[in-house]
A and B are shown apart, each in its own frame.
Chain A
Amino acid sequence: MRLSELQEVASLAGIATCVKLLLVPTYHSTDFEVHRNWLAITHSLPLKNWYSDESSEWTLDYPPFFAYFECFLSIFASMLDPQITHLQNGQGYASNTVILFQRISVMVADLFLYWGVCKISRHLSAVRKKLLLLAVIFSPGLFIVDHIHFQYNGFLLGMLLLSLAALQDGHDLLGGFWFAVLVCFKHLFAVAGPIYFVYLLRHYCRGPQKVLRFFKLAGTVVGVLVVAFGPFAYYNQIPQVIKRLFPFGRGLCHAYWAPNIWALYNIVDKAAAIVLRKIGVHVNVPQAALTGGLVGDFSPNALLPQITPKISALLVVGTMLPCLVQAWRHPRKTDVARWVVYAYACGFMFGWHVHEKASLHMVIPFSILAVQSLQDAGDFIFIATVATYSLFPLLFEAKEYPIKVLLLVLYILVMWVSFAHNMMERGELNSNEASVPISDSFVHESCNLEKLDEGKNVEKQPKEEGMQLLSIFEKVYLAGLVLVEIYGQVLHPFFLRDHLPFLPLMLISGYCSIGMLYFWAGQFFKIAFMSGFHIEQLPHMKKA
């Protein structure tokens, strides 16, 4: 990588880090305590007890690599302040030291994100590269989830980007390796597993050496798994680990319904129950306890059939099928990113106990596609807005309210304007721009009025073209988000006061799930029915 490119990434990452530093005193969720507890578990207990410890309710439920990562961090944490890593005394510990330490650990771990985005944008033209850097590094979702709410998504998404970059460069083995590592960090990423499997099988394991290659691939993956789970297998802990990793005792939906198909399903169910009761039909409505984050809560539906984990898993795989078929028939490396995004979209839409944060898994990799075609750029702006907006309920305190709104609005403004400027089919605009006397030495001295006029002429084009980024439906829908927000913030508290406190949240997840469904359906049709569809043979990609 050239020095100037590195400088560019470094300065953007630096600016983002400054903002992240300023976010240190913001609200942090229970996830903060969860991760602190994991520091304590991995530091003070022997490895065999990591997954069986129950001294705190926040038990370790991420795969082993993440536990190793926490173990690594806990070395520094205990040097800094031994109380952080103390299993009992550390519970609920939230001094400035521990906050600063954990916050900074997220910022440092984000180096993976920067590395990933560097790799994936390596072969793009200068402008697309800059756009991609902007889109990923300043993603408001990451700021909200990682640096306010507290999690390590940027770090993990960085690995996903590294994996996709390796696949795009044709280094299939490396791509598979990174994906295996990623899944051993956070198993939620395994949703894209089938895609990886089919693609690698068809793209990598071919040619005269296909058997050898297959074993190489299998060896890599198994090697990663052994490193991750081996020590636990040695202590006979595997059943316990599995039990922790897949807590199907949790409900279909999280406390705040992630905006997916099940949110709509629940809303329809509740609405039907209410309507039927109004009519006079007796309905046995169960206690509508919305499920909390802890294992063991379960809220059944009133009318519609119960969804079991099996149904949800079948739906995920079923909706992924067209994409698997495509990957089987035409394993093109240019399409991998789209398939992976689609796989995560399926996982998000139909998965069991999905968190709203999981939408980041599709938004961040989707930005790779967004910088390559106009249509995807529009879709990106749409989905980034909806996904980020659906994260808003995570931050419910007044002091973060303007911050989250401004983070989103600023991001959308910058992305919209720069996409509109760079991504349009600029035939006309191009000649127009060339005729603008920017190169004219006269400009500098020319008087104000003239300049204004020129400005207008140029302005018209991008604006009209920029409109095409989003269709009318999408624009109306996004405007509706503003109404939903106004309802939740102003109208609801004003008119209904304390009645129906869950209604604004339900409205947000219901409304956002429509947007998500729209995005998912768009991707579904693109992959399933536009058989000839593939990303244009990117002219900007250097021929390897």
Chain B
Amino acid sequence: MLQSETDVSRTPNCRSQRSTSAFITLLTRRSAIGTKKKKMEQAFVWPWNSQKWATFLAISMFAFLLRMLVALHSYSGAAVPPKYGDYEAQRHWMEITVHTPVKQWYQNTTDNDLCYWGLDYPPLTAYQSFVHGIFLNAVEPAAVALHTSRGYENTSSKLLMRWTVLSSDILVFFPAVLVFVALYYRQHANQEQAWALAMILLQPALMLIDHGHFQYNCISLGLAVGAAAAVIMRQELMACILFSLSLNHKQMSTYYAPAFFAHLLGRCFQCCSPVVGVMRLGVMVLATFAVCWWPFLSSWQSVLQVFSRLAPLERGLYEDYVANFWCSTSLLIKWKQLFSIPMLARLAMGMTIGASLPSMVQQILAPSAQGFLFSMLNSSFAFYLFAFQVHEKSVLLPVLPATLLALNEPQVLQYIVPIAVMSMLPLLRRDGLIIPYFALLSLFFLLPAHPVYGPRGKPDKQKRGIVKSSALNLLPFCSISGAVVLHLIYLFLHPPARYPFLFEALITVYCFVHFLALAIYTNWRQWFQAVDRAEVSKEE
């Protein structure tokens, strides 16, 4: 019907009376608008185009709400004396930093027993503990009292502790992500941006670890996202500062170091005087480090003391059940018996560098925004899979760049997030976080797997096509059913007495295989697909 009307409007010239033709055109245009209106109505319940900030606000609020809800649940080492868990570690650091002088924070003294959750994160974490400790000390002094507060848990102190994480999240991670999305996806339609934002903020792994298990990854990861945003803005100095801060909050951020190093080096080579460029950045990094480490710079001794706390070689090749190379292959090869610890450390370092080298080389040769994010993903994968002393929580590091690349690689995201969360299942089960685990994971599956509307506000058939055809593939089907079966086995069956950790090992191997495949794929993507994107960004 619309077709016939537009036909009339196309042939007004053959009409003799102009007024009639004008009238008809008017009429037909009206009806065209009418049908358009109907189509628009079909498409949008939410005004994606006009209310960008309301959209972002609503998504952020929902993400924050979920964090608060997760925070209602249990945490690592709740009421498990004598050592408790990560919650107690963080609380203990607050106690130490508030009540002892800065110089003694990393030293074994009568007030600071390093054997009981000694501080083993870099200075920025110590400062953050100090600030939060002051807050707790003001509201509930007993919660951070020296010596007497060990294992202190009651309703109000738990709430206060949870709020320190929630506030850090909203002050550091949220703004960084908002800036990142607004910058990196500036050429995408609002609806796609909103989807990307939702994917980054509603990703379950970070929520479960920070607000369930209890850690402050949101700060170091938020700083890393800020640094990535600075890289995209071509503010290299800013990127150096933010990334150095991130490194100084948690040494785990080293996982991204190859990406930043390679990308910034590549950028320096592009400009007229590479040496000066490198020097500028180097000075910036050193200056940031100097500021962070200032109280500990009094003597070489004290610097080494802090360092020895940060790199505890004695803790072994891996912790618990990590879905990485060492832990998975240890079922067949007993690495810990074959080699000494220093030997293993060297081996692990060699393999990590080897695995992150391709993505570094790509970024040095052709630095680009998208390539850089891929490089973050690949180097953190390299570290997670091959580095020495990896925690199961370290999986947060590869997951973050994968979520940042949400719109570029929606399929990688759909794989990596569930698998990463699954790889932490034994840990989360121990923490009593099974309900939030399933709730958040199901929520992630219920969110659309790709933006429903493309850049032009139309349902994106092309993308849907991809998803549909891949849904028919055997691979995702096998992967999902395997995961479901493993979950059922792990939660409802008892392992045979001879192998009490059989199911954990199965989960580990299962996730490792997925991670390895994903890492190979993303490396390939970085080399062969991101290149054309790099050229586009150069033209801009």
A residues whose Cβ falls under 8 Å from a Cβ of B = 11, 14-15, 17-19, 21-26, 100, 125-127, 130-131, 134, 398-399, 402-403, 406-407, 409-410, 413-414, 417-418, 421-422, 426, 430-431, 433-434, 436, 438-441, 443-445, 448, 455, 458-459, 461-462
Known contacts: A398-B156, A421-B44, A443-B455. The answer to whether A455 contacts B49 by CB under 8 A is yes
What are 5 A-B contacts defined by CB distance under 8 Å?
Answer: A24-B435, A418-B45, A421-B44, A440-B456, A441-B456
B163 to chain A: closest residue by CB: A402
Assess the A15–B443 pair: CB atoms within 8 A: yes
Assess the B456–A444 pair: CB atoms within 8 A: yes
- Beyond A413-B58, A417-B51, A434-B36, 9 additional contacts (C-beta under 8 Å) are A11-B446, A14-B442, A25-B73, A403-B69, A421-B50, A438-B457, A440-B456, A441-B456, A448-B187
| CA of A414 to CA of B61, assembled, Å | 11
Interface residues of B in 340-360 (CB under 8 A from A): none
Q: How far is the CB of A18 from chain B (nearest CB, A)?
A: 4
Assess the B72–A25 pair: CB atoms within 8 A: yes
A-B contact count (CB 8 A): 129
Interface residues of B in 34-56 (CB under 8 A from A): 36-37, 40-42, 44-47, 49-52, 54
Assess the B54–A399 pair: CB atoms within 8 A: no
Check if B484 is an interface residue, CB within 8 A of chain A. Answer: no
Assess the A403–B49 pair: CB atoms within 8 A: no
B residues whose Cβ falls under 8 Å from a Cβ of A = 33, 36-37, 40-42, 44-47, 49-52, 54, 57-58, 61-62, 64-66, 68-70, 72-73, 155-156, 159, 186-187, 189, 435-436, 438-440, 442-443, 446-447, 455-457
Assess the A403–B54 pair: CB atoms within 8 A: no
Q: How far is the CB of B438 from chain A (nearest CB, A)?
A: 7
| CA of A413 to CA of B65, assembled, Å | 14
Residues of chain B within 8 A (CB-CB) of A22 are 66, 69-70, 72-73, 435-436, 439-440
Assess the A417–B61 pair: CB atoms within 8 A: no
Residues of chain A within 8 A (CB-CB) of B40 are 433-434
Known contacts: A125-B41, A127-B42, A421-B46. The answer to whether A410 contacts B456 by CB under 8 A is no
Q: How far is the CB of B267 from chain A (nearest CB, A)?
A: 22
Known contacts: A421-B51, A434-B33, A444-B187. The answer to whether A130 contacts B61 by CB under 8 A is no
Assess the A23–B41 pair: CB atoms within 8 A: no
Residues of chain B within 8 A (CB-CB) of A430 are 33, 37
Residues of chain B within 8 A (CB-CB) of A24 are 435
Assess the B46–A417 pair: CB atoms within 8 A: yes
Q: How far is the CB of A147 from chain B (nearest CB, A)?
A: 11
| CA of A459 to CA of B190, assembled, Å | 13
Residues of chain A within 8 A (CB-CB) of B37 are 426, 430, 433-434
The CB with the most chain B CB atoms within 10 A, among A17, A417, A439, A458, is that of: A417
Residues of chain A within 8 A (CB-CB) of B447 are 15
B46 to chain A: closest residue by CB: A418
The CB with the most chain A CB atoms within 10 A, among B68, B189, B447, is that of: B68
Residues of chain B within 8 A (CB-CB) of A19 are 65-66, 69, 439, 443
| CA of A445 to CA of B189, assembled, Å | 10
Assess the B45–A127 pair: CB atoms within 8 A: yes
Assess the A438–B49 pair: CB atoms within 8 A: yes
Assess the B159–A398 pair: CB atoms within 8 A: yes
Residues of chain B within 8 A (CB-CB) of A402 are 68
Q: How far is the CB of B269 from chain A (nearest CB, A)?
A: 28
Assess the B66–A422 pair: CB atoms within 8 A: no
Residues of chain A within 8 A (CB-CB) of B435 are 21-22, 24, 100
